[in-house]
Amino acid sequence: MSEFKKSLTFWSIPLGILLFWYLKDILFVIITGLILGLAIQEWALFLKIKLKVPLYITVPFIFLIFIFLFILSIYLLAPIIISELKLFIPNLSDYLESLGIPSFGKILSQFLGKPTPEILMLAVSNFFNFVGGIFMIILILIISFYVATQPKFFEKFFEFIFKDKSLEYIKIFQRIKRKFSFWLIAQLFLMISIGLATLILMLIFKIPYAGIIALISGLTEIIPIIGPIVAASIAILITFSHNPDLVIWILLGFIAIQQLENNILVPLVARFAFQIPPLITLTAILIGGKIGGILGIITIIPLTVLLIEIYQEIR
């Protein structure tokens, strides 16, 4: 019996890895929903104590605030972005050709030159990918809402698994959940701040497509280290095609924004959100992107903190 247990333990590790790799797309959707739900749950519990209202009111209230801010952002930004896209799309071919990249027209003609069955298969594949992306977002929101409304679920789970030692693990879980909530609010704060700073920079130098660049800069801020580089590269590329003389000023502007972030914004949230060394952050992002794509990149930092917390507790 002892040999059987050893053999079972030995083979469970590679089998678990294979199962994780096979189900990685589903697992990262669940992980994203869990992290988002636990963070919102911590906010809802805080509001419950402060406002003295039930949890089933504070959780929907937070989700409604998110929906309201999302709709408000679309309402304010959509006219600017649509007007910029009307100017950008006709010039897109010229931008691509100046960079040595085939224009959209050439790509489309090459695509239409393929056999009809291949065109249909690619069109159906892209359609299902789009529908799958929408379904994935809806599923994440459903999971996060369910998790946020069930504060006792994990406590009961730990009590069932660890019995007498459950209180110790519940305390660890509470610390991790608190860090998740701090991470989410810090990311939202940084994304909004950097997006607005980029918009102001682009408007000062009258760079075209300022709204699109600011939106990209704000969204990519959720990816540490790599995100700001991507946003700055796009802004410099568009500036170079518009007015090469302004490239150096835009570059200095993005450096100033990063200094503002590193020396003022990040210290404001550092005492609440967790800090990870840059090398570990970059390595984690590369691993997360390889395993889980965009969801892997977004969730890998909270998962890294989870592993660090467990490692420190074991020590």
Residue pLDDT, tens place only, 86-97: 666 666 566 555
Helix (H, G, I), strand (E, B) or coil at 243: coil
Global pTM reads 0.74
For the chain, the first-to-last Cα distance in angstroms comes to 31
Given a contact cutoff of 8 angstroms between Cβ atoms, the answer to whether 192 and 218 are in contact is: yes
What the block records as the tokens of 55 is 């949890």
d(Cα 84, Cα 90) in Å, to the nearest integer? 11
What the block records as the tokens of 45 is 């519990």
Q: Is residue 233 over pLDDT 80?
A: yes
Given a contact cutoff of 8 angstroms between Cβ atoms, the answer to whether 32 and 299 are in contact is: yes
d(Cα 41, Cα 62) in Å, to the nearest integer? 9
**Stretch 17-29: mean pLDDT, rounded?**
78
Out of 77-86, 204-213, 240-249, 283-292, pick the least confident. Answer: 77-86
> Which of 268, 267, 239 has the alpha carbon at shortest distance from 252?
239
Given a contact cutoff of 8 angstroms between Cβ atoms, the answer to whether 67 and 201 are in contact is: no
pLDDT at 252: 93
Q: What is the crossing angle of helices 104-112 and 55-98, to 10°?
A: 90
> Which of 179, 201, 199 has the alpha carbon at shortest distance from 191?
199
Q: In which band, very low, low, confident or very high, does the pLDDT at 132 lie, cut at 50, 70 and 90?
A: low
What the block records as the tokens of 204 is 């000062």
What the block records as the tokens of 139 is 């599923």
d(Cα 104, Cα 93) in Å, to the nearest integer? 6
What the block records as the tokens of 107 is 């790509």
> Which of 213, 221, 201 has the alpha carbon at shortest distance from 238?
213
d(Cα 26, Cα 139) in Å, to the nearest integer? 10
What the block records as the tokens of 17 is 């890895």
> Which of 225, 237, 215, 205 has the alpha carbon at shortest distance from 99?
237
**Stretch 40-56: mean pLDDT, rounded?**
88
DSSP helix, strand, coil percent of the chain (3-state; round to 5): 90, 0, 10
Residue at 199: amino acid letter: L
Q: Is residue 307 over pLDDT 70?
A: yes
pLDDT at 6: 59
d(Cα 147, Cα 152) in Å, to the nearest integer? 10
Q: Which residue has the tokens 């059987």?
A: 4
**Stretch 191-206: mean pLDDT, rounded?**
90
